[in-house]
Structure 1
Amino acid sequence: MTGVLVVTAVPAEAEAIRAGRGPTVTVAPVGVGPAVAGAATARLLALAEAAGRPYRLVVSAGVAGGFTGRVKVGGTVVGTSAVAADLGADSPTGFIPVDQLGMPAELLGGGPTITADPTLVAALRAALPAAAAGPVLTVGTVTGTVAGTDALLRRHPDAVAEAMEGYGVAVAAAHAGLPFVELRTISNPVGPRDRNAWRLREALTALTEAAAALPF
C-alpha cells in the first residue's frame, strides 16, 4: 500500500493511471456516481487506517466532459474545487442549491462545494502547465442539452469540466481529514450527446501522460 490513493470510476481509467505511475500509487476503480464513489472511497480509507497504513492524500481521477472554450477535447483539467452541481431543489424560479434551503450547516457536510487542497493544486499545475484549472462539477445526471449546459454555466461561471464522482470522493477525504484534489482529462464537450464525437482513447492517453507527471 502506498500513501497516495487515486480513485477512478471505471477500470479503464484505473489502467490508464497505472500505465503512467506503476505501483507508486494505489489505484482503485470505485464505481460511477457520487454516492458509490464516496462510499467506496470512505471504506478504502477506513480499512487502510485500521490496518495502520493510512493514506496521506486522495486523488479523484478520470475522464470528463469539458466546457467548450475552457478546455479542449483531449486536454487536462486540475480541479480547484469539487461542486455538487445538482444537489438541491427544483423550483418555478429555477434550481436552488442545497445550502440555500435552510438546512442546518451540520447536515451539509463540507457544503455543496469542497475546495481542493491548495498545495496539491499548486503541485499539479506546476507539473501540468498546459492543464486548465477551475471547479469541476459533480452531477448525478450528465448534461445532454444546450439549455442544461447554459444553466450550469450561469450557476457556475468558472467551471471547466463536468464529471460524476469528484464531490463524493472529496466528502470521503474530508471526513477522513485528508487533502483532496481532482484530475480529469476530456473526452467530449459538455452538452448534446454525440457519441461519434467522443474521443475516449485520446482522453485515456492524456490521463496516462498526466499520471506520469504526478508530483507525488
Structure 2
Amino acid sequence: MVHRILIVTAVAAEADSVSAGLGLCLGGPVLLPLPGGLVLRRHTDTADASVRADVLVGGVGPAAVAASTGTALAYAALTGPDGAPYDLVVSAGIAGGFQPLAPLGSVVVSTAVVAADLGAQTPDGYLTVEELGFGRSAHPVPEALTGRISAALDAGGRPHAVAPVLTVSTVTGTAGRAAELADRHPGAAAEAMEGFGVAEAAAAYGVPVVEIRAVSNAVGPRDRGAWRVGEALDALRHTFALLSPTVLVEPSP
C-alpha cells in the first residue's frame, strides 16, 4: 500500500511546526508549486519513497481551506501515477480548548469534525443542516485511526484528548458562547476554523480525514495575554514527530 498523506494548516507558523516534526522521521521538505500560488512541502521517507507527507498552508477559515485542499487533491489525482490523490487528509494546527477536557499545551485528536454553526437560529433554538433537511454538519473519523494516533501519542508521553473538534467561522470570545457550544456539542474538546472545510474537500474524493489540534488557549472570554501560542506550536511539532505516516495510514490487511 502506498502511504500518501496531505496535512493542511491555516498559516505558515503551523506548517513550520508540522514540517519540523516530520523532518525528524522523514526527509525533506522539497517545495512543489500548485495551481493558484499554493506550495506543498513534501517529506519523503528516505528508506521508502512510496511513503510521503505533504504539508499545505491552506488559509484561514473553512471556505479558504476547502478551496486550497480541493486544489491539492485535484492536482494529485491528475498527476499521480494511479489517479488516487491521498490515503489520508489531516487538518492540523493550534486551537482553543474546552476546559477542563483540553488543557493548554495538550493535543486533541478528533473523533468527528463538526461544523458547529452551520444551520439556522429559530425561535425554538438552533437547528443543524441535517434537521433542516439538507447538507451535513459532521464528518466522523475512523475509530481505528484515532486509536493508532492516540497510542502513538501515549507512547511518546504527549498529553491528549480524543474527542469531537468544532469548526467555527467566528472564534468564541465570551463565556456565554462557550457554554452554548459545549451544551450543543457535548464532549467537544476544541474549536478551530478550518477542519470542516478540509473534511468537505476530502469527502469529495472519498479520502478519510482526521483533525489534530494543539491547544493554545481556553475557549471562552478572549484574553490574549493568557494564550500560549508558542507552547502549542511546540506541542504540534512534537506530535508530528511521533506520528509517522505508517501510524496515520491504516495498515494493509
Q: Give the structure-1-normalised TM-score.
A: 0.93
Gaps of 5+ in 1: none
SS at match of 1:3: strand
2:191 counterpart residue number: 162
Number of residue pairs the alignment of both structures matches: 209
User: What secondary structure is seen at the aligned counterpart in 1 of 2:169?
Assistant: coil
Aligned Cα RMSD in Å?
Answer: 1.2
Three-state SS of the structure 2 residue aligned to 1:71 is coil
How many angstroms apart in 2 are the aligned matches of 1:78 and 1:203?
14
CA distance in structure 2 between the partners assigned to 1:118 and 1:41 by the alignment? 23
Q: Which has the higher contact order (CA 8 A, sep 6+)?
A: 1
The AA in structure 2 aligned to 1:37 is: V
Contact 2:91–2:198 under 8 Å retained in 1: yes
Q: Greater share of strand residues, 1 or 2?
A: 2
Query: Residue deviations 1:71-93, cap 9 Å, x none?
Result: 10011111111000000111223
Which AA in structure 2 matches 1:140? S
- The answer as to whether partners of 1:127 and 1:215 remain within 8 angstroms in 2 is no
Alignment of 1:48-197 (within 5 A): 48-53=76-81, 54-103=85-134, 108=135, 111-129=136-154, 130-197=159-226
Q: Secondary structure of the equivalent of 2:171?
A: coil
Alpha-carbon distance between aligned partners in 2 of 1:169 and 1:121, rounded to the nearest angstrom: 17
- 1:96 Cα deviation after fit: 1.4
Check if 1:29 corresponds to 2:45: no
Unaligned runs of 5+ in 2: 24-42, 45-52, 246-253
For residues 123 and 99 of structure 1, what CA distance do their matches in structure 2 show?
30
Which range is displaced more, 159-168 or 89-98?
89-98
How far apart, in 1, do the equivalents of 2:160 and 2:180 lie? 25
SS in 2 for 1:40: helix
| 8 Å CA contact 2:88, 2:208 repeated in 1 | yes
SS in 2 for 1:193: coil
Partner of residue 6, structure 2: 5
1:210 paired to 2:235: no
Q: Which residue identity is paired with 1:134?
A: A
Q: Deviations over 1:30-75 (max 9, x none)?
A: 0011111111101100101100252211000000000011010011
| 1:122 positional shift | 1.4
Output one character per residue of 1:162-190: Cα deviation in whole Å (capped at 9) or x when no partner: 00011111111111111111110000000
